[in-house]
């Protein structure tokens, strides 16, 4: 079984996950920061606060005093640090006049490199934004991805870029839909918290995964 076949098996078992959770691109963008080290229940509360106060409009978010922004996102935890990161994102967006379609016309590698330079945004968050906000197909390497592939005796390199390249080469063409669904399906599987015994009953679990080396 190769990775495309595994994707098909995941999709047949769990269906379309409809990711990323959010009613607008702005919710997804700022949610990618708020979700760090917390859960979606807390993020939803923070987003509800932001929406009630600002309508999630960038200019209205910028107009908030730092203390007010911190208060609104407090349910998501680490609110001081996350407020600073949201400020960095807003400064970055201002360079594009808050025009996401304009950002989508930019070079993905350049956009990613810039995001990484913003305080509080690492590889995973940058790739979340690329994939689920800007529509650039990419592979997200997180704890869920590593744990899932470990089930098939695939151990990814520790370094993020090397791990990302190792997964990316398993599929000749990553479309936006497959990239978005693939990560969402992996998260779905891992949140099921299968025991070793339960995992044996998952339809595709006993199929060896073919893995292309560099």
Q: 158: burial class by Cβ within 10 Å (0-12, 13-18, 19+)?
A: exposed
| Per-residue confidence band for 202, with pLDDT thresholds at 50, 70 and 90 | confident
**High-pLDDT (> 70) share of the chain, %:** 100
8 A C-beta contact, residue 30 and residue 47: yes
Give yes or no for residue 161 having a pLDDT over 80.
yes
- 129-150 pLDDT, tens per residue? 999 999 999 999 999 999 999 9
pLDDT at site 20 = 83
Q: How far apart are CA 115 and CA 110, in angstroms?
A: 9
Q: How far is CA 133 from the centre of its chain?
A: 9
Give residue-wise pLDDT tens across range 35-62.
999 999 999 999 999 999 999 999 999 9
3-class SS of residue 40: helix
Alpha-carbon dihedral 21, 27, 31, 32, rounded to 10 degrees: 80
pLDDT of residue 195: 84
Let me know the angle formed at the C-alpha of 149 by 143 and 153, rounded to the nearest 5 degrees: 130
List of domains in the chain: 3-17+140-199 (no CATH), 25-132 (1.10.340.30)
């Amino acid at each position: 079984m190769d990775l495309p076949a595994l994707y098909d098996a995941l999709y047949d078992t769990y269906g379309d996950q409809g990711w990323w959770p959010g009613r607008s691109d702005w919710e997804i963008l700022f949610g990618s920061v708020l979700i760090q080290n917390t859960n979606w229940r807390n993020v939803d509360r923070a987003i509800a606060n932001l929406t009630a106060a600002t309508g999630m409009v960038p200019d209205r978010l910028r107009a908030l005093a730092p203390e007010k922004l911190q208060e609104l996102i407090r349910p998501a935890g680490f609110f001081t640090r996350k407020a600073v990161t949201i400020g960095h994102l807003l400064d970055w967006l201002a360079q594009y006049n808050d025009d996401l379609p304009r950002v989508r016309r930019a070079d993905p590698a350049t956009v990613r490199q810039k995001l990484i330079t913003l305080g509080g945004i690492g590889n995973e968050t940058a790739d979340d934004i690329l994939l689920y906000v800007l529509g650039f197909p990419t592979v997200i390497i997180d704890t869920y991805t590593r744990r899932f592939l470990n089930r098939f005796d695939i151990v990814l390199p520790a370094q993020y870029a090397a791990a990302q390249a190792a997964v990316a080469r398993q599929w000749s063409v990553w479309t936006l839909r497959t990239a978005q669904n693939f990560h969402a399906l992996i998260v779905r599987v891992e949140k099921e918290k299968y025991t070793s015994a339960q995992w044996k009953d998952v339809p595709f679990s006993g199929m060896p995964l073919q893995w292309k080396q560099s």
